[in-house]
Structure 1
Amino acid sequence: MKALSRITTEAIPIEVLREDISQICGAFQIEPARRGGPSHGLARQRMMGGLETALISLDVEKVTRTQACIRRDPGEHFFLLVQDVGHCVVHQNATSTLLRPGDMFIVDATQPSQFVYDGQLAHQISVHLPRDEMIGRFGDVCNGGMAIDRQDPLWMALRAVLVKMLHCQTEIGLQLSETLYGLMGAYFHERRSQDADPRSQVIERALQLIGQHYRNPDFGPSTLAEQLGISLRSLQRYFKPFGETPGQRLLHLRLTQARTELATRKLRTASITDCAYACGFSDLSHFYRAFRQRYGMTPGDVAERAQDGGAILQ
């Protein structure tokens, strides 16, 4: 999918990136891919149709908004987060959502959240939606954060409006921002409706269950299908538009979490085993094989680099 933004990055001290994001987006904790940096990153602010927007490029390990951050800087916005390049796992409201290029997630700035990048370069667009405006228009539907289902036709319409807002004059942008609110309202109304597309409801529930239970080694596609009350074959058909199986989505999330934990702890070999089990793997040979295939190195290599302050993984 073609990227919406073009951001050039260069190696900068992590303190500079922290300050830039703090000034533009609010209080967050940023953990670099290697301790003490430097890391690659750039946060730039611009207006889109009267809405403050952040264009962010970074290759850090993770970004976290803690309760302490919220007390220091109360959230006055929802963030419409558009994953433009690379991947990110969003943890909010006891669920984990994998964002791929084109995916959108509405982040609730009043609730703790974490964004995991695995030290790999990612570009994101964050449209700051005033909280009072959102609550006044739509009620509490966004409280706690929510993903925008890219299989919903309104996803394409939202993306088209965002493209126009990025590249149009201010006067037209103000009209487009109202269109953006209108499309979000239509999307929220459909979610609330009892006549909403059953397929979208199943996918949304499936992704929530994966985010809640991926650490359980007994949780797999068959268990997921059983909890959803559908057959495994039906579940596989629901996931077909994503270009992956339910098992592949579950594996990707487990590997991402294992990589993050290995890269941020001082681990011995025995602890690598503990990490694998804690992230939902019951077969160590499968864990090592899948990990090496995804990251091009062993779990031990990642843990060793974390101990040594290792290199950024691109």
Structure 2
Amino acid sequence: MRVLYSTDPVAEKERFRRWRETIIERVMPLEISEVGPGPFSGRIEAAQVGALTVNRITTSGIRTELTSAAIRRSEIGSTITVALQISGAMTFSQADREATTARGDLVVLDRQPSSILTPEGGQGLFIEIPQERLERVIGPAKLYSRTRIPAEQATTQLAVRYFHQLLEVHRRMEARQAERMGSIGVDMLIASIAERLTQDVPRALHGTVVVQRAKAQIEDTLHDPALSPSDLAAAVGVSLRRLQELFHERGQNISDYIWERRLTVAAQRLREPHAAQMPIGLLAYACGFTSQAHFSRRFKDRYGASPREFRMDTFQRTLRSATG
């Protein structure tokens, strides 16, 4: 990862002041206070994996406050942060909700007034993922922000290992590969969050959580042409009949939802400049279609144009926009 800032070359008595000034100037106007004895040290590293921004922050004991004023003054995009604890412990507080994370735990951070306390120092990985993509699958982030997603959970372990390995090799990837690998990482994080939401859920919300888990599973296995409603029901631990009932209660059909997601993802990839040379058949298989003919037929029914026409039209509109 690329080092954005480090206090190592700064005189010990100036380190915390310089750290605070750097964060306010380069990141966000946060309220930061030093905690605990000893000289302060801090480091910010960053990596860009496709569209994902990943920051690794290492500090001594510190408290960071995100205030309403800071949120109003900042230029935050439409992303949600997932924090991965690498070492030490952090306590995330928001209103009446609090979560303390240890090594290997995850926690979702939305854009609300809150604080982060690292009493004895530590290191965390902060991954920015698209808010719309997360909330489309598992609902508004405000419902599960500051909820600890434990390291003991199998899906958490897989996601954590994946990101550690991804950050080691991402620089050797082509842009298209990095985009795809980053997208897989987001799917793994979403699956981990969805699994956590099935625990300690009030009965009245259980059906919603089951559907959210099913949708997370769909996103994770969308490329698999063998994905079926019965497989999906088994993956989330309910009968097929019950899962069908839950989707119908929300005005949806499982099979229709799967095909709609496949078509939507295919359309998104056809719009991506780095995928302009990808053969239509390869793109179709990557989205779970068993043949290019089947894909083209369904795509034209949905969008009123063949995949090739759709991509060409997107390219021409982009070119006209760029040339005024």
The SS at the match of 1:39 is coil
Q: For structure 1, which segment, 21-30 or 95-104, has the greater mean C-alpha deviation from structure 2 after superposition?
A: 21-30
Q: Is the CA contact (8 Å cut-off) linking 1:161 and 1:176 kept in structure 2?
A: no
Query: For 1:121-171, what per-residue CA distance to the aligned partner results, in whole angstroms no more than 9, with x for missing partners?
Result: 211111122334433454314556132232321101111221122111343
The SS at the match of 1:154 is helix
The SS at the match of 1:128 is strand
Q: 1:300 matched to which residue of 2?
A: none
Distance in 1 of aligned mates of 2:130 and 2:28: 13
The SS at the match of 2:148 is strand
Q: 1:58 matched to which residue of 2?
A: 59
Opposite residue 58 of structure 1, the aligned amino acid is: T
Q: Is the CA contact (8 Å cut-off) linking 1:21 and 1:43 kept in structure 2?
A: no
Q: 2:163 matched to which residue of 1?
A: 162
How many positions carry a matched residue from both structures? Answer: 188
Q: What pairs up with 1:174-253 in 2 under 5 angstroms?
A: 174-190=179-195, 196=198, 200-201=199-200
Opposite residue 40 of structure 1, the aligned amino acid is: S
Distance in 1 of aligned mates of 2:194 and 2:103: 25
Distance in 2 of aligned mates of 1:34 and 1:156: 31
Opposite residue 158 of structure 2, the aligned amino acid is: A
Can you give the 5+ residue segments of structure 2 that lack an aligned partner in the other structure?
Answer: 202-324
Q: Is the CA contact (8 Å cut-off) linking 2:92 and 2:99 kept in structure 1?
A: yes
Query: For 1:17-45, what per-residue CA distance to the aligned partner results, in whole angstroms no more than 9, with x for missing partners?
Result: 1243345643321102379x962112222
The answer to whether structure 1 residue 91 and structure 2 residue 93 are counterparts is yes
Q: Is the CA contact (8 Å cut-off) linking 1:92 and 1:144 kept in structure 2?
A: no
Q: Is the CA contact (8 Å cut-off) linking 1:49 and 1:174 kept in structure 2?
A: yes
The SS at the match of 1:168 is helix
Q: 1:14 matched to which residue of 2?
A: 16
Distance in 1 of aligned mates of 2:142 and 2:169: 28
Q: What pairs up with 1:1-314 in 2 under 5 angstroms?
A: 10=8, 11=12, 12-22=14-24, 25-33=27-35, 39-73=40-74, 75-76=76-77, 77-108=79-110, 110-118=111-119, 120-141=120-141, 143=143, 145=145, 146-169=147-170, 170-171=173-174, 172-190=177-195, 196=198, 200-201=199-200
The SS at the match of 2:93 is strand
Higher-Rg structure is 2
Distance in 2 of aligned mates of 1:189 and 1:44: 28
How far is 1:91 from its partner? 0.7
Opposite residue 53 of structure 1, the aligned amino acid is: V
Distance in 2 of aligned mates of 1:189 and 1:122: 27
Distance in 2 of aligned mates of 1:137 and 1:15: 41
Q: Could you tell me the TM-score, scaled by structure 2's length?
A: 0.50
Q: Could you tell me the TM-score, scaled by structure 1's length?
A: 0.52
Distance in 2 of aligned mates of 1:100 and 1:133: 27
> RMSD of the TM alignment (CA)?
3.1
Compare relative contact order (CA 8 Å, sep 6+) and give the higher one, 1 or 2. Answer: 1
Opposite residue 64 of structure 1, the aligned amino acid is: E
Query: For 1:261-313, what per-residue CA distance to the aligned partner results, in whole angstroms no more than 9, with x for missing partners?
Result: xxxxxxxxxxxxxxxxxxxxxxxxxxxxxxxxxxxxxxxxxxxxxxxxxxxxx
Q: 1:20 to 1:46 in 2, by over 3 A?
A: farther
Q: Is the CA contact (8 Å cut-off) linking 1:9 and 1:57 kept in structure 2?
A: no
Opposite residue 27 of structure 1, the aligned amino acid is: P
Q: Is the CA contact (8 Å cut-off) linking 2:91 and 2:116 kept in structure 1?
A: yes
Q: 1:48 to 1:9 in 2, by over 3 A?
A: farther
Query: For 1:225-279, what per-residue CA distance to the aligned partner results, in whole angstroms no more than 9, with x for missing partners?
Result: xxxxxxxxxxxxxxxxxxxxxxxxxxxxxxxxxxxxxxxxxxxxxxxxxxxxxxx
Distance in 1 of aligned mates of 2:73 and 2:25: 13
Q: What fraction of aligned residue pairs are identical, expressed as a percent?
A: 18
